[in-house]
Amino acid sequence: MARIILHEVGLRDGLQMERAVVPTEKKELWVRELLACGVEIVQVGSFVHPEKVPQMADTDELFRRLAGRPAGGVLSGLVLNEKGLERALACGVEMVCLGASASETHSRKNTGMGSDEATTRIVKTALAAVAAGKKVQVSVQSAFGCGFEGPIPEARVLAMVRAYLEAGLRTVSLADTAGHAHPAQVERLFGELLRLDPGLELAAHFHNTYGLGMANIFAARRAGAVSIETSFAGLGGCPFTKVAAGNVATEDLVHALQRAGEREDVSLARLLALAREVETFFGRPLPGFLLRTGPIGGARP
């Protein structure tokens, strides 16, 4: 299997659920530490209206502060529309992430649009990002189920991916926004995507709502996913789904990979120290397992 690319989304998917606003200076330190740990991609934030998600109000400023960082790693940002892309391009985003939901209900709660309209808009915006020379990843949210609608027809997910492919967009993520996925379903659906186009660069984002996040990650990997989105300390969840819960913790995934002799280039000790700092900042226990148990055999420095 291919080397797993680590895409840290704690600064965006993790913080969007939190009421306590993290100071920009603290966010900047966390991003720099994640890059120093060896994480390839860090999602710095999303370009949404600050009244809708107050935690993301400083995303533009944060990207500007990080512009002069040491070389290494990629900074990504989530964009939902044309205005968001304008902001992203203006502040130096390196990788643009966009997505539409396969759930009509979730789509309308998240964007005010139905799935078809949102997909059309995302494709248009993604092509503008490509034209601007940015690496672009498009996603299907609620790809495995929805807290409001229940099961999502796989045909609907595949139709959205076909729309991406027809536009020439070949870095595609499937997101389990509601946490409904199970491993057999994950392997089947990712396999269907590769049958559409064997050259797809596949990413996966699983919420751990019902405890299957890590199992689903490895199922996605067996089926061909190469990039995995996780969050430090397991923080996060989508505020626009019915049952919001955290992500798989980045340090837990790295620990699992290193137990198998992989990703030994990543500093697990520093990742775990950062997760503890995040937990201390919010003043409550967070979902990451290593925060409670520590790593087997000690953490790689």
Position 35, amino acid: L
Could you give phi then psi for residue 219, rounded to 5 degrees? -65, -45
The catalytic residues are 238
The SS3 call for residue 143 is coil
Q: Side chain identity at 291, as an amino acid letter?
A: L
Instruction: Give the dihedral of Cα atoms 14, 73, 3, 169; nearest 10 deg.
Output: 80
**Rounded CA separation 138/159 (Å):** 14
Q: CA 43 → CA 27, 154, 172, 173, 208, distances in Å?
A: 11, 28, 16, 14, 19
φ, ψ of residue 33 to 5 degrees: the values are -70, -40
Q: Name the nearest CA neighbour of 94 among 134, 131, 67.
A: 134
The secondary element (H helix, E strand) that includes residue 128 is: helix 115-131
Distance CA 129, CA 284 (A): 39
Q: Judge whether 298 and 245 are in contact, CB under 8 Å.
A: no
Nearest C-alpha neighbor of 74 from the set 57, 92, 61, 60: 92
List, in sequence order, the alpha helices (H) in 197-288: 213-223, 250-259, 268-282
